[in-house]
Amino acid sequence: GAGVSQSPRYKVAKRGQDVALRCDPISGHVSLFWYQQALGQGPEFLTYFQNEAQLDKSGLPSDRFFAERPEGSVSTLKIQRTQQEDSAVYLCASSLARTGAGYTFGSGTRLTVV
């Protein structure tokens, strides 16, 4: 497709459950970012990949959060033992350039932890 695709669009998880969120970036895009957007707030950086290398994971809020991009294309964000405070929209973005400027966001996955 022409855009960044994220799945699922919506996910309801019981507290303590593990979840996996998928991002299909635009084909050929080198840079891939994950952001977390709480309700009524701006997106906050979680992690950054350049091809398959995770160059920055400083925004991951705890060791329950893990991201991978093994072949330099599709990426998965995994959250273990979900907590209510993990409820948010998780956005993925990709960019052709290494600079990250002008990158394209997906529509996000809305995670609700009950």
Positions touching another protein (CB under 8 A) are 4, 31, 33, 35, 40-45, 48, 55-56, 59, 91, 93, 98-108
Min CB(17)–another protein separation in Å: 24
How far are the Cα atoms of 14, 67, 94 from residue 2, in angstroms, in the given order?
Answer: 33, 23, 12
19-24 sheet: strands from edge to edge: 5-7, 19-24, 75-79, 65-68
Min CB(85)–another protein separation in Å: 18
CA–CA distance, 42 with 62 (Å, rounded to integer): 20
Q: Which is nearer to another protein, 15 or 98 (CB)?
A: 98
Min CB(23)–another protein separation in Å: 11
